[in-house]
Structure 1
Amino acid sequence: MTAERHRPAPRGAAFLTHVQAVLEGMPRAQQRLGRFAVEHPIAAAQMTITELADSLGTSPATVTRFYRALGLSSYSQLRLELATAAEDRGRAGRDELSGDIHADDSLGTIIEKMTAAYAQMIIESGRFLDAGDLERVARAILAARQVRIFGMGGAGSVARYLQGKLRSLGVPAIAFRDPREAVIDMANAEAGDVFLVISQSGAAEDAEHVLAEAVAREALTVALTSDPGSSIGGRADIVLRSVVREETLRTGVLSTRHVEMWLADCLSAAVLVCRFDESRTALTRVNEALGRVRRSAR
């Protein structure tokens, strides 16, 4: 082993460059580890040493030799360096394609910027979305007598979208845009019902009033918001967090809706898998009914 490999490893995105630079002199099994780490740093950082070894058909001892060859003293240090490098590399990509739209941007550049911005918001939202919370909400929805969804303005469109997804799975769901109508219906809620409120800021006053009524009726309350510390996020039983980044000349309202609809899709998918056979039957019936409608309209 050369002295070069024992030098302290560089930090940040340069760590991945360092890994690539020393790969050639490594044994084949360690080369596989290195290529995987460079290509999938986030995935590698999330694995235990045994999981990483098993995924590449090698042993934990080989992984140990690999990180020591990189100048690291422990596997936890390798995971930290990979996570830091992935974040730095992602930040560099965002810096290159982020920012507002400029007058001299080509349409190709605009497409790249918009694609990167929307993809990054969903990726970051995915990092904050807790699978345990998602399952808890899904199972509560399946056990509820009634599911109510509230959203004002553009969030109301997401509420209707989620209503349609849940109804297609056989879930009794109803969406509201008008706070008065929502409060009237909530007055008949029972303990065990589910109330979902969609508010990007988490500070919509009318939404707070409807949420307060849901709390009073002992419904399970769920907030879809980008601010868990907001008045709505702080009062809800469970928060499903979205990450939204707005630029001056981008349509921030639309970017918010896209991330919220992604959250709605995640939730409906969780409901589907929690009661798979019944949900699949319900979807089949819906598709058959829609097919009959389409045929009769010809």
Structure 2
Amino acid sequence: MKKVRKLNNTSNTLLMIASVYSSMTKAEKKVADTVQLNPEAAVLSTVTDLAEMAGVGETSVIRFCRTLGFRGYHDFKLSIAQDLVNMPSYTQSEIDDEDEPMDIVRKVTANNESILKGTMDLLDMDEMNKAVSSILAAKQIYVYGVGSSGITALDTHYLLMRLGFKVEAQRDSHIIAMSAALVGKGDVVIGISTSGSTKDLVDPIKQAKQNGATVICLTSHAKSPITNYADTVLLIPSREMPFQGGALSTKMAQIHLLDILSTLITLQKKSETSDSITKTANAVADKLY
């Protein structure tokens, strides 16, 4: 399986644990559950202490650390300690039936702020810069997404089209499959999937990669199947349960990351993108009363 790269120094290890959790072994998941339940205790524990709390052997703790890209347990503890220092004052807040309307407003706002902060914490600037360079050099850009991610694909199409790129977005699984069969070298394919495991998207992405296209994926799971075929992986946090597909908080994270991407592209190709923005704005100027 593809090795997970350790993210840059601004990354959040607790978020990274959630991102790779689904691909961990049973023993590694026990360690992950223990750390997520009480990260403060993990920082103060020896490798033996944490192994005992998780009910696994010490080697499982070491494998867990290496799965996250750390050289050993000490490096892992230092990273968790840094996460705790930078942790915002608010935490994920569950909404209760007894909450007053203003309490709900505050909780939803705090949770969305947390998602945006988590998006920044997970951002790997090396991967982001690779994505920017690939898009700037693209002959043609294809954006694929199904279900809720298909809506994000349309947003991506709109952003890049206004910047002057040749881009198309597809949401239908059959059309995605046919489109991917025709892409080739010089093309860039952007695959958007929160789970990274949607067969209707992963299979066409694999085909596009085999055809020689450059693949960028936007996902919440760093070890999901789609990442096996991606040249660049852009990660976002997600708190979606299986019955919560298309949660607005995840959509916000996706759009926030795309906003960062399009802004970096605009600054690197300022004159061309400015001209395209002006032309597209003028094209619809007379549509307003």
Equivalent position SS for 2:185: coil
1:269 Cα deviation from its structure 2 partner: 1.3
Alignment of 1:236-251 (within 5 A): 236-246=230-240
Corresponding residue number in structure 2 for 1:93: 90
Contact kept? 2:148, 2:246, Cα under 8 Å:
no
1:273 Cα deviation from its structure 2 partner: 1.3
Q: Which of 206, 230, 235 is the aligned partner of 2:229?
A: 235
Amino acid of the structure 2 residue aligned with 1:86: V
Q: Indicate the larger mover: 186-195 or 107-116.
A: 186-195
Distance 1:287 1:155, change over 3 A: same
Show structure 2 runs of 5+ residues with no match: 1-77
Which structure has the larger Rg?
A: 1
Amino acid of the structure 2 residue aligned with 1:128: L
Distance 1:202 1:82, change over 3 A: closer
Corresponding residue number in structure 1 for 2:260: 266
1:117 aligns with 2:111: yes
1:137 Cα deviation from its structure 2 partner: 1.1
1:190 aligns with 2:184: yes
1:180 Cα deviation from its structure 2 partner: 1.6
Equivalent position SS for 1:187: helix
1:268 Cα deviation from its structure 2 partner: 1.3
Amino acid of the structure 1 residue aligned with 2:85: A
Alignment of 1:128-167 (within 5 A): 128-167=122-161
Contact kept? 1:100, 1:249, Cα under 8 Å:
no
User: Over aligned residues, Cα RMSD in angstroms?
Assistant: 2.4
Corresponding residue number in structure 1 for 2:66: none
Amino acid of the structure 1 residue aligned with 2:90: G
Distance 1:106 1:81, change over 3 A: same
Tell me how far apart the structure 1 counterparts of residues 279 and 144 of structure 2 sit (CA, whole Å).
Answer: 27
Equivalent position SS for 1:240: strand
Tell me how far apart the structure 1 counterparts of residues 144 and 184 of structure 2 sit (CA, whole Å).
Answer: 17
Amino acid of the structure 2 residue aligned with 1:134: M
List per-residue Cα deviations over 1:167-186 (Å, max 9, x = no partner): 00000111011122122222
Give identity over the alignment, percent.
Answer: 26
1:285 Cα deviation from its structure 2 partner: 1.0
1:99 Cα deviation from its structure 2 partner: 3.4
Contact kept? 2:176, 2:201, Cα under 8 Å:
no
List per-residue Cα deviations over 1:116-149 (Å, max 9, x = no partner): 1111111111111122221221121121111001
Contact kept? 1:147, 1:195, Cα under 8 Å:
yes
1:195 Cα deviation from its structure 2 partner: 0.5
1:271 Cα deviation from its structure 2 partner: 1.4
Equivalent position SS for 2:239: coil
Corresponding residue number in structure 2 for 1:83: 82
